[in-house]
Amino acid sequence: MKMKQHLLQCAVVLLFLLFTQLELAVLSASHSVDHGRYGSIFSFGDSFADTGNKPIAFAANSVPVTVMGPPYGDTFFGHPTGRTTDGRLILDFLAENLGLPFVPPSLAHNGSFDRGANFAVAGATTLDADFFHDRDIPGAPSKFPLNTSLNVQLEWFQKLKPSLCGSTQECKQFLGRSLFFMGEFGVNDYHLSLKKWSVEQVRSLVPLVIETISAAIERLIKHGATSLVVPGVIPSGCSPPILTMFADARPSEYDPNTGCLRAHNELGIHHNTLLQDSLRRLRAKHPGVTIVYADFFSPVMEMVESPHKFGFRQDILQVCCGGAGRYNYNDSVSCGDPGATACEEPSSSLYFDGVHLTEPGYRYVADGWLNSINSAVDASSGNTGWCTSEHVDP
């Protein structure tokens, strides 16, 4: 009898939830159910998240950029924005779906940061710049990496914080309703190091990179963060710059099904495994904090393995905009340079100008991250698993 009553109650509640969801779908075309969940977004990272800091940071170091000319930004904005792609980034799609404005770049924005700030800078590393320069990585005459590492970005956030909230209670409330993105971090550390070191040597850096990311998460939690998204790294073995850098690799070093370099992808898998282990420890240490792992590796591999499924061309590892080379990529001719060529339909390509994806690629990755965010929030609020026989008295 109790079982029947419980099932009837579940059916009534599920019907209510169904009609509620249908009503929300009519009111909003967004994928996000609760637009009021977060009041702001704060982002740290590299070019996968940079919404416009690159031109400022590079100019300060007398490093030329082509990102402020066409074809950058053409697909969505209609003009360059400082993003290293043809349109929107993962962060842009997530902000849209969560009912928030695009996250303004902290170095290039003169307005309010009440709805969030983006500290990510293209080329940023996890480890401090001195770590690489002391080891002559990648070597003269390169100025990279610049002084824009994870710790530097955290310092920028700390300096901005007093303008966001005053008292401890005010900061607790404000930052408690903010969503923090920690990365992606790691790709630049590894790609720069691969210019001097073997894959095995670079692999030894992974624990230090993970430790630095974990320490940064702890710092944000102390500041008041309660919702964090921590992305893993991409499959570097499928990245055109890495494929070009190791063009002399033996045939046995490639995956015959994808054309990607196995060892470099395994490096990414190792990073992501250690990162997820670290996040599990952080969740146990901070049970009141939601820490979401965002998978960057798997969706990129899905698109590489099945290009037609996503509307991409068969030669999936070719970049849309670049210089002459096997993958239409040339390290000495950047997209936007006079010698570069751009494809007519960026939407048919996965890679835009090298390591960076096109807008359709970022959109697919963003869909997966949004699902992970929503699932984590549902789990933390106890919205899963309640309508089962485990809740029925015997």
**3-class secondary-structure state, position 127:** coil
Calpha distance 74→296 (Å, rounded): 24
Calpha distance 302→310 (Å, rounded): 9
Calculate the alpha carbon distances from 55 to 120, 226, 353 in Å.
12, 31, 17
| CA angle centred on 294, ends 292 and 297, rounded to 5° | 155
Residue located via tokens 């009609």: 19
DSSP secondary structure, 307-326, as one string = GGGGT--S-TTSBSEE-SST
Instruction: Specify burial of residue 128 (Cβ count, 10 A radius: 0-12, 13-18, 19+).
Output: middle
Give 286's DSSP letter.
-
Regions of the chain with pLDDT less than 70: 1-35, 383-394
Beta bridge partners of 180: 42, 228
- For residue 257, the model assigns a pLDDT of 97
Calculate the alpha carbon distances from 107 to 50, 55, 60, 120, 156 in Å.
11, 9, 11, 10, 9
- For residue 9, the model assigns a pLDDT of 36
Kindly provide the residue ranges of all beta strands, DSSP E only, lying in 80-203, ordered along the sequence.
116-118, 178-182
Contacts of 174 (CB under 8 A, 6+ apart): 39, 40, 164, 165, 224
Instruction: Specify burial of residue 167 (Cβ count, 10 A radius: 0-12, 13-18, 19+).
Output: exposed
| CA angle centred on 390, ends 387 and 394, rounded to 5° | 120
Q: Please check whether residue 153 is in contact with residue 128, taking contact to mean a CB–CB distance below 8 angstroms.
A: no
**What stretch of H or E contains 40?**
strand 40-44
The pTM is what? 0.88
Burial letters 8-35, b for 16+ CB under 10 A, else e: eeeeeeeeeeeeeeeeeeeeeeeebeee
Q: Please check whether residue 117 is in contact with residue 106, taking contact to mean a CB–CB distance below 8 angstroms.
A: yes
- For residue 35, the model assigns a pLDDT of 53
- For residue 2, the model assigns a pLDDT of 37
Active site residues: 47, 353, 356
Structure-derived torsion over alpha carbons of residues 289, 291, 292, 293, reported in degrees to the nearest 10: -170
Instruction: Specify burial of residue 380 (Cβ count, 10 A radius: 0-12, 13-18, 19+).
Output: middle
Read off the pLDDT of residues 298-319 as tens digits, 9 standing for 90 and up. 999 999 999 999 999 999 999 9
Calpha distance 154→168 (Å, rounded): 19
